[in-house]
A and B are shown apart, each in its own frame.
Chain A
Amino acid sequence: MRCRLEVLSRYEINDIHAASLEVLEYTGATFRSEEALKIFEHYGAIVDYHKFNVKIPGYMVEELVRKAPKKYWIYGRDPKRNVEWGGKTQFLDLPGDYPYVIDLETGKRRFGLLKDCENFIRLGDALENAPQPYPVVRYPHDVPEALQHVELSMVHYKNTPAPMLIFSEDKNKAKDCIELATVVAGGEEQLKKKPNAWNAGMCPSPPLLFDAKLTEGVIECVRFGLPIWFLPMDNVGATAPITLAGAMVQTNATNLAGICLVQMVNPGTGVSYGGIPTVMDLRTGIPSVGCPEQTLLCVAIAQMAKFYGLPSQSWSGVSDSKIVDAQAGYESALCMLPPILAGANRVICGALEYHYSACYETIVIADEIFGMAKRIAEGMEVTEETMAVPLIKKIAPMAATKTGAHYMAEKHTLTYVDKERYVPKISDKTTREIWEKAGSKDLWQVARERVKEILAKHVPEPPPLDILKEVEAKAEEIKKRILKNTG
């Protein structure tokens, strides 16, 4: 059977659901956007414009959540890169929006640049487990703030045939990115019929606060039917209750409020339930990750999403360590495995310093941890054929002979080897002599070399030239417009 993990019983899931409905009905959520408030009011929720407060009755929440699709496709420019979102799909994604990058050459922290965005996308594009690479650096230091979303969209489009991303920091930015996606799709109608882009993450601020600009960016995406990832960032003990159940009620209520808005604007638009749980460190106050409480919340997120029949994602494989060391390894691994066992669809991994520093090496390490975790999740298949009794009867008695007994050259072994075995990509499994001859390298060095090798060799499938020209012309047009408007 498959290897599964749950931290909430069926009854506890119901309790958290009921508690979240109570919060939404009697306390409500804060939406700073007037546009959003109007949508809620129009639909029949109770809105207080002075307090930016929306109270949503329980029956309405349940009715709206049911409108969100359980499974849907996002289309890449290469059909091989279409992503089926939901169900049993499980993939790794690169983390994002960190101000800093650990430099690949110096190992020192510096600001993230547009070149890093390109490198991260190309690195992700080369990893089989990461079919939807995120640019990691969302606010490149060498690009003016007003143009970042356009440059990022172009770098992403050029360096991966995966679905595009809509960097919707506000309504205008969302519109700009959607214009580019429309050119790629070949028109608005095609875009709506076959969405080729995701909204690049909606992070409500706890407790239960939806920022005006971000929310309006989301609404713009939803009008075109582009799917939305919800990633509330509840900080346990600081901006969320210290009890994990309390934090989960708040994370759940936040997801539900966002999903309600999406389904009010454009019923049937894809959403993804999720979270970036952090835990305030009691000594330093940092929003700690890679800790046991974060892991438990990531599992609960996957379970609650399944309860609603929605796809899910969580920030699961990151660390507070400042370098690629044992702490980075165990924190990432311990936080990544459990949500994968719980059936999370997308686990976001590979960064250091509690959401501050992106790191190339940790991404290829996360790719390895993900591969191992996925193999564990697949569990053990027990059938007549896999129990191999006739084979054991044949081979075991040969132990008494001079030639000895082993299973290595058997057809059964060759047939099952690829299915049964995970083959490590960067973990060292050599003998000491071979390891020493190869330079006695530690994992940081091995990972760095692997990153460099990928960046030197991997050529992502380029976009079709004619469409690229069109998209580039559109990007220039948008940039000129922005520069004119901002003076």
Chain B
Amino acid sequence: MSSEVVYDELADAVLSFDADKVFETTKKALRLGLSPGDIIEKGLAKGLRIVGERFENGEIWIIQLVAAAEAAQRALNELLEPEIFRRKMVRTSLGKVVIGTVAGDIHDIGKNIVRAMLTAAGFEVHDLGKDVPVEDFLAKVKETNADILAASALLTSTAPVQKDIVETVEKEGLRSRVKIIVGGAAVSEEWAKEIGADGYAPNAVLAVKLTKELLGVKEGK
């Protein structure tokens, strides 16, 4: 079987929104000796890009988008990353992202969708979960040498924490090293500008686009 066929099968599995199918197809691809990097890039991420386009065109719903992203994410976390580790390979990612829902806020659905989409798109994502203190964001950025800090806030009362994050990153002298993006129901483009963040996206597909733009990654990668 040519490897191209397997990549197409992987992409199709993602497009079927079936996590078990994605998992099994990824297993099969590894058995056939394909590299984890190619499985991600030529298979899963390709499927995800098509899913993203279909979502943007209104052909599928957010539920399918999330199902596809989480299916790809599960294959990544449970099969591909352990394999990369086992082979002592270095995972080439599009960039490193530290993501979390800010302190005082436990609303994490939107953040989880963005996490899944970024992971599936080929970013190395470090998810700090919800109710994350500013210091934890900072520590993780330092530890991983992250390119992007993504902070989510749903409540009007917690959006100001995003401002604290920008200020703290500046104080620590990391502002030139890490781009800060914000999202969530309480947030707008206007707010992002006001607090001096680098960008805002209203949904997960656009969040992936924004992250790629900020890191100078070409579309279709």
Contacts and interface: CB of A to CB of B under 8 A. Distances in A.
B46 interface: no
B140 to A, nearest CB: 13
Contacts of A414: 17, 63-64, 67
A422 to B, nearest CB: 12
A433 B62 contact: no
A403 B129 contact: yes
Nearest to A399: B106
Given A404-B109, A409-B66, A433 B188 contact: yes
Interface in B20-34: none
A417 B127 contact: no
Interface in B65-88: 66-67, 69-71
Contacts of A432: 188
B189 interface: yes
Nearest to A413: B63
B196 interface: no
Contacts of B203: 431
A408 B62 contact: yes
Given A414-B17, A423-B61, A434-B202, A408 B129 contact: no
B63 A404 contact: no
Contact of A408 (B67, B128, B130, B200): B67
B112 A402 contact: no
Contact of A433 (B69, B108, B189): B189
A431 B202 contact: yes
A402 B188 contact: no
Contacts of B10: none
A402 B64 CA distance: 23
Contact of A402 (B63, B71, B129, B189): B129
A223 interface: no
Interface string A409-434: 11001100100010100000011111
Contact of A404 (B71, B112, B188, B200): B112
17 contacts: A403-B112, A404-B108, A404-B109, A404-B130, A408-B62, A408-B70, A409-B19, A409-B63, A409-B67, A409-B70, A414-B17, A414-B67, A421-B61, A431-B203, A433-B188, A433-B189, A434-B202
A402 B66 contact: no
A481 interface: no
Contact of B66 (A408, A430, A431): A408
A190 B22 CA distance: 55
B127 A402 contact: yes
B202 A433 contact: yes
Classify the interface of chain A: helix, strand, loop or mixed. Answer: loop
A403 B17 CA distance: 20
Given A414-B17, A433-B188, A434-B202, A403 B127 contact: yes
A274 B70 CA distance: 52
Contacts of A404: 108-109, 111-112, 129-130
B71 A409 contact: yes
Interface in A358-411: 402-404, 406, 408-410
A176 B113 CA distance: 63
Nearest to B69: A409
B187 to A, nearest CB: 10
B202 A417 contact: no
Interface in B102-155: 108-109, 111-113, 127-130
Given A406-B109, A408-B70, A413-B67, 13 more contacts: A402-B127, A402-B129, A403-B127, A408-B66, A408-B113, A409-B19, A409-B66, A410-B67, A413-B63, A414-B63, A414-B67, A423-B61, A431-B202
A205 to B, nearest CB: 47
Contacts of B66: 406, 408-409
Interface centre among A404, A406, A413, A430 (most CB of B within 10 A): A404
Contacts of A403: 112, 127, 129
A441 to B, nearest CB: 16
Contacts of B19: 409
Contacts of B127: 402-403
A408 B63 contact: yes
A208 B108 CA distance: 65
6 tightest CB-CB pairs across the interface, nearest first?
Answer: A402-B129, A408-B66, A409-B70, A409-B67, A404-B108, A431-B202
Contacts of A413: 63, 67
Contacts of B67: 408-410, 413-414
Interface in B42-75: 61-64, 66-67, 69-71
A430 B56 CA distance: 12
A181 B71 CA distance: 56
A424 to B, nearest CB: 10
Nearest to B68: A409
Interface in B165-183: none
A439 to B, nearest CB: 16
Nearest to B71: A409
> Which of A423, A432, A433 has its CB near the most chain B CB atoms (within 10 A)?
A433
A409 B71 CA distance: 8
A261 B100 CA distance: 74
Contacts of B189: 433
Contacts of A430: 202
A235 to B, nearest CB: 44
A241 B125 CA distance: 72
